[in-house]
Structure 1
Amino acid sequence: MPLTDFTDEQARALVNVRQRYEVWRDAERAARALPYDLRRKTVGSYSYLYEIHDRSGNGKSLGRWDDEAESRFLAYRSEKAAAKDRVVKSRGRVEESARLLRALRVPMLAAAPGPILREADCRGLLDGQLLVVGTNCLIAYQQEAAARFDLSDETEDFDLAWAADTKPEGAPFWEMLKAVDHTFTVNTERTFQARNSDSYEVELLVAPSRAASMGPREKPQPIPLPEQEWLLLGRPVDQVVPCRDGRAARLVAPDPRWFALHKLWLGAQAKRNPLKRRKDVAQGRAVLDAVASAMPQYPLDQAFVAGIPEELVPYWNGWQEARSDR
């Protein structure tokens, strides 16, 4: 599939949106690291400094009110106001960049995944725990190639894969999803899938080698799929992409070489929906073409070929043959 290189203006705008997004993300993380609130409470004839944990007012005493407590209280108020100001200003700059990218007709991620990815990033879940898989990856691959390839890249669902190799506390994925939209519930018929009140679907996938690193309280509960192991190979793509909700989000996707071969394999599975199989093959070929033409950072060399599992070799050979015939 032919590629259309990004213009210099598009490339500059993408560099800028990443810088601005990271400033916002870091500001948001710093703001969240502060206590929910500090308050002065009077109990009987004494006053105390309280740290408040949530909207319900639950908290704990930090000791009797004195000059030191007052200084701590005032310093907190000042720090929190400054943190909020940084978040608001940096978010405005991200939105400005997103408007420019829309005007420049840069490929954009659908609106619905944006809030999920931003919340996951603020919680550190994109630093080794989650990968975006499926069609939404195409946006990141186009940025990695600095070129557009014309394929449908919007779907009515969002696929993520659990990639952590150590077990975290609690249920970080489910807590993140509920923080984005409290209406998400697990689909009882497909327990690896969650839906919100708008029927938007989020699916969680996992490779057998990572299944044990999911906590028992985590939701949804995916069925380990051997083919997901391929998406853990190589080096992930890490891009900040503009979203149709007027903002941007960080998107971490599998190594494009393994994503493409996985897609070609999916396209050959008879049990899969024929319409999806056709799309899988088109996407797999397009991404491998883009890797060969515009991603030297992901070489298709002898070392890579030597590591291709036997099950995927026919799809690699088929792509090579088709490419040589063009």
Structure 2
Amino acid sequence: MFLFNELSEIQRKTIVDLRQAYEAFHATRRNADRHYAGSMRWREKNGSEYLFRRIGKGERSLGRRDEHTDEVYAAFMAGRQRVKQRLSSLTASLDTHAALAKAAGLGRVPRIVARLLRKLDDANVLGHIRIVGTNSLFAYEALAGVTIAGDALATADVDLLLDARRRLRIMVPDEDERTVAGLVRRVDASFEIMDRTPYRMANDDGFMIDLIRPEPKPAWRKEPDAILKPGDLDPAPIEGLQWLVNVPSVETLVIDVNGYPAPIVVPEPRMWMAHKLWLSKRPMRDPVKARRDVGQAYLLRDLLVAELPQYPLDDGFFDALPRPLREVAGSLRPRETVEEDDSDDLPQPRW
């Protein structure tokens, strides 16, 4: 049985307050990006003034100066000022709650992973890209409202699972961020794509990011819609990942080592658990990784049983698993507990 540390009431309240501060900040930031991104300015052209809107490196005319464009400009500048003031207040509030969360010992996720999660969310691709591997456990413990003891969450990489059923389109103003590699470099400019493993990036500290996708069926079939832009990461096709793509995703907030929240999207935990155990038994799996896979599978099993009853490990779940997973998942069924009879009653004849 693995050890899960229950959160104190103070820690739970700190998390609630932090989430509320983040949600208010996030909603306001999204509103600002949607309506007040870029800038507006007047520019003389052919003897007349025109209103121009600039977003990123692109600029377009909104028309000649008249009563309507004057109103558009005034509304944009006033609205942008209101949003900046609100964001200033919400940022201060978020900083305060993050400091409290850090002091309360709630910081869990490596800072670089949290920054990557926030960048993917800003680009509206978190969800199309799911987090798999060890870092998923941060999401599952957050769902359960506990922390996992020991070093089961220690890792120096992160796996990004791309849903290859539809093309990934990154629609952001900055052209340099319209690739996965570009988004990663905004997190840390030292990240570079590895020559012999074009699905992997590594930074100066040796932290690695892998972009992976399900292996097509049949394996030799090319999937043109899964190909990203030239110069981007080339996602590695891996057997078995279709099970983690096809199940519903789970979204929650995790907290980084500095106390700041980050959104995360992971596969449904029961399928992650079954896939981990299946992965441990693959013939080419590194023995060290295989033992870690087994430990993480049973760790999540215990967490589901103890803290996440909304994900029942019942016959319905196990019977519905794909056959390769069903063949190895039997040991993950919870053991039935038999209550000991501690009464003093002894058998007696029928006098």
What's the TM-score, normalizing by structure 2? Answer: 0.82
CA contact (8 A) 2:109 2:256 kept: yes
Mapped to 1, the partners of 2:237 and 2:143 lie a distance apart of 29
Tell me what 2:102 maps to: 102
228-237 vs 257-266, greater mean Cα deviation = 228-237
The answer for the alignment partner of 1:236 in structure 2 is 249
Q: Which amino acid aligns with 2:128?
A: Q
Task: Give how far 1:74 is off.
Answer: 1.9
Tell me by how many angstroms 1:289 deviates: 0.7
Q: Does 1:274 align with 2:287?
A: yes
Any conservation in 1 of the 2:179–2:229 contact (CA below 8 Å)?
no
**Match in the other structure for 1:119:** 119
1:154 alignment partner, SS class = coil
State how far apart, in whole Å, the 2-side matches of 1:296 and 1:8 are. 21
Q: Which runs of 5+ in 1 are unaligned?
A: none
1:289 aligns with 2:302: yes
Aligned match of 1:144: 143
Q: Is the 8 A contact 1:49 1:69 kept in 2?
A: yes
Partner amino acid, structure 2, of 1:137:
S
Q: Which residue of 1 aligns with 2:226?
A: 214
173-182 or 92-101, larger mean C-alpha shift: 173-182
- CA shift for structure 1 position 198: 4.3
From 185, 191, 198, the counterpart of 1:191: 198
The 3-state SS of whatever aligns with 1:47 is: strand
CA deviation after TM superposition for structure 1 residue 132, in Å:
0.7
Residues paired across the two proteins, number? 322
Structure 1 range deviating more: 280-289 or 61-70? 61-70
Matches within 5 A, 1:1-326: 1-33=2-34, 34-43=36-45, 45-54=47-56, 58-106=58-106, 108-126=108-126, 128-152=127-151, 153-163=153-163, 165-169=165-169, 173-208=180-215, 213-217=225-229, 219-320=232-333
Give the 3 Å change call, closer, same or farther, for CA 181–227 of structure 1 in structure 2. same
Q: Matched residue of 2:154: which SS? A: coil
> Secondary structure of 2:155's partner?
coil
1:244 alignment partner AA:
V
Q: Take 2:37 and 2:148, find their aligned partners in 1: how far apart are those partners?
A: 46
Contact 2:28-2:83 within 8 A present in 1 as well: yes
Identify unmatched segments of 5+ residues in structure 2: 171-177, 218-222, 339-351
Q: After the TM superposition, which of the residue ranges 129-138 and 275-284 deviates more from structure 2?
A: 275-284
- Structure 1 position 172, deviation (Å): 5.0
Question: Post-superposition shift, 1:77?
Answer: 1.2
Structure 1 residues 8 and 173, CA gap change in structure 2 (3 angstroms): same
- Displacement of 1:202 in angstroms is 1.2
Does the 8 Å contact 1:47/1:64 carry over to 2? yes
- Displacement of 1:262 after TM fit? 1.9
Q: CA deviation at 1:106?
A: 2.4
Counterpart Cα distance in 2 of 1:205 and 1:113: 17
Higher helix share: 1
Query: Equivalent residue of 2:111, what SS?
Result: coil
Deviations along 1:10-40, one digit per CA (max 9) or x if unpaired, are: 2222233222222222222222223411011
Q: Distance in 2 between matches of 1:321 and 1:79?
A: 56
Shift of 1:322: 8.0
The alpha-carbon deviation at position 193 of structure 1 amounts to 0.9
Does the CA-based 8 Å contact 2:15-2:101 persist in structure 1? Answer: yes
Q: Residues 135-160 of structure 1: CA distance to partner in whole angstroms, max 9, x if unpaired? A: 11111111111222214223221111
Distance change in 2, residues 1:95/1:278 (3 Å): farther
